Structure 1
Amino acid sequence: MTFQHTGAYATSTGIPAPRARARTRRRGSAVPVLRDLRERGGRGPRVLSFGGGDLVVVSGLPGSGKSTLMRRTAEGMAIDSQDARERWEARLPRFLPYAVYRPLARIAHYAGLRRALRSGRSVVVHDCGTQSWVRGWLAREARRRGRALHLVLLDVTPAAAREGQRDRGRGVSGYAFARHRRAVARLLTSVESGRLPRGCASATLLDRPAAGALMRIAFRDGS
């Protein structure tokens, strides 16, 4: 299935995505595309392909599998806040809690993202869901370079996300997780109703089986 007006398409087994919807925001604007690939038992697309120079933001609850998905599928430049955290963890004593050096890890993450965006290449970016200003930043950058911003949203239950945190041996506090739950729930509700975040040309909804079936997030110029 091909969406030429957004520069994004998915190659799959030939089964059309269920509940796919599109909505025009204003006359003369591009038509945002929503692809709902959930509830297909892993029979979803193997490749999500976007235009060269486009930006892709991967969002969802902590523990939903964003970092795993990016490391397994993202071609080109992938900017994951988890990488910045792990680099700082390797430098500091194990007994030091993450809360102490979290500001430094975040600064390093955003500095890396800024450098990646300045390169002009296609970029896949980790988004925790609570930082809507990051999506705004990416949307402005996409407009500046004349390209598109795309959202890939992982929809997993809070229980599954908590299990994912336990599996990786790293959790978030109850307060922080509640903030994430509210932010991701608002984002999911908005996307499901066809109201994509401002500046997004497309959104793709994935559950765990659909994310597991995905093999590549690719860009057509190979960047």
Structure 2
Amino acid sequence: MTTTGTVGAVPAPRSAARPAAAGGPVRDLRGRSAGPHRLGYAAGDIVVVSGLPGGGKSTLINRAAETGIDSQDTRERWERRMPSALPYAVYRPLVRAAHYRGLWRELRSGASVVVHDCGTQSWVRALLAAAARQRGRSLHLLLLDTTPEEALAGQAARGRRVSAYAFARHRSAVARLLAAAESGRPPRGCATVTLLDRRAASALNRIAFDA
């Protein structure tokens, strides 16, 4: 089954998600017994994957994206180079600088790309939207709607928890994104938004960019 970034529908409540109708900017895949295995977008478009920490963003990008930019990958590369006793907070600014430098380099190439988005930094989505417009393409959002319990379990599984304060910020940011999508409005700068729950995200194995 193939869906496109330009086909969608205003979603029903989470407990009663319904199929999309053609032409809308919001597609709700939550609650489906079998989600699509492929999402297709136009070549040159940019897709951001957002959701709670531990909600499965990195897992989805690693499985489904041919070209993915994930800050977690950058962090892990730096961790392998740093003394194990050195706290991450000490070199976090260097990791972020390296991540955004790599992201900017990929965007300048004009390539289609899938980007990890923590949800709390709206300025990142604004820059991605500007980059998409500059190349005459669109920015799309894949929003993972997982429960706090699912996200915390995901953090525990990877052995890396965020602080209670940071998690609360993420919950507020993701709640705002969900509220916008569930009202039928993609978040600012996004041409479309696709809502995924855990099951739908697990079924998705390819994010493709078609010429």
For 1:66, which of 54, 57, 65 is the aligned residue?
57
1:143 maps to: 133
Q: Give the C-alpha shift of residue 199 in structure 1.
A: 2.0
Answer whether contact 1:21 1:33 (CA < 8 A) is retained.
no
Aligned length: 203
Name stretches of at least 5 consecutive residues in structure 1 with no aligned partner.
10-16, 23-30
Q: Which residue does the alignment assign to 2:84?
A: 94
2:37–2:205 Cα contact (<8 Å) kept: yes
1:52 is aligned to 2:43:
yes
Asked if the contact 2:55–2:151 (Cα under 8 Å) also holds between the matched residues in 1, the reply is: yes
- Counterpart amino acid of 1:104? L
Q: Distance in 2 between the 1:21 and 1:89 partners? A: 46
Q: Does the 8 Å contact 2:18/2:28 carry over to 1?
A: yes
Aligned structure 1 segments of 4 or more residues deviating by more than 6 angstroms? 1-4
Distance 1:38 1:193, change over 3 A: same
Residue correspondence of structure 1 range 1-223 to structure 2 within 5 A? 7=6, 18=18, 20=20, 33-41=25-33, 43-75=34-66, 77-221=67-211
Against the structure 1 CA distance between its residues 60 and 21, is the aligned structure 2 distance closer, same or farther, given a 3 Å change threshold?
farther
Distance 2:47 2:132 in 1: 10
User: Aligned partner of 1:56: which letter?
Assistant: V
Q: Which residue of 2 aligns with 1:14?
A: none
Please state whether the residue corresponding to 2:188 is helix, strand or coil. coil
Task: Please tell me the residue identity of whatever aligns with 1:40.
Answer: R
- Aligned to 2:191, the other structure's residue is in SS state strand
- TM-score, normalised by the number of residues in structure 1: 0.86
Q: Counterpart amino acid of 2:109? A: S
TM-score of the two chains, using structure 2 as the length reference: 0.90
Query: What is the Cα deviation at residue 95 of structure 1?
Result: 1.9
Q: Which runs of 5+ in 2 are unaligned?
A: 9-16
Distance in 1, matches of 2:140 and 2:35, equals: 18
Quote how far apart the aligned CAs of 1:215 are. 1.1
Q: CA deviation at 1:191?
A: 1.1
Does the 8 Å contact 1:152/1:203 carry over to 2?
Answer: yes
In 1, are the aligned partners of 2:143 and 2:195 still within 8 Å (CA)?
Answer: yes
CA contact (8 A) 1:62 1:128 kept: yes
Identity of aligned residues (%): 67
Q: Alignment partner of 1:170: what SS?
A: coil
The answer (yes or no) to whether the contact 1:155–1:208 under 8 Å persists in 2 is yes
User: Match for 1:38: what amino acid?
Assistant: R
8 Å CA contact 2:2, 2:36 repeated in 1: no
Alpha-carbon distance between aligned partners in 1 of 2:145 and 2:3, rounded to the nearest angstrom: 23
